[in-house]
Amino acid sequence: MIVTISARTVLAVLCCLVLGVPGSWAQSPLTRTPIVDMQAGQSYRAGIRVRVPNGVASFLIPTGWRGEQLDNLAAVLLVSEKEAGFVLAFAILNQTEDELFALLGEPQPITDTLVFEPTGNVTRHGRKLTATYVAGSLTGRGMAIIGPDLQGILFLHGRPQQEPRPSRSLLDELADDVRFIQTKDSLPSP
CATH number for 135: 3.40.1000
Structural domain contains residue 144: yes
Predicted confidence band of residue 161 (pLDDT cuts 50, 70, 90): confident
CA 153-15-20 angle, to 5 degrees, is 90
Structural domain contains residue 1: no
Structural domain contains residue 14: yes
Q: What total number of domains does the chain contain?
A: 1
Cα–Cα distance for residue pair 80/71, rounded to 1 Å:
19
pLDDT at 151 over 80: yes
Give the domain range for residue 152: 7-20+29-181
Cα–Cα distance for residue pair 131/124, rounded to 1 Å:
9
Structural domain contains residue 188: no
Structural domain contains residue 187: no
Instruction: Give the tens place of pLDDT for each residue, 78-133.
Output: 999 988 899 999 999 999 999 999 999 999 998 889 999 999 999 999 999 999 99
Cα–Cα distance for residue pair 122/124, rounded to 1 Å:
7
Res 165: pLDDT: 65
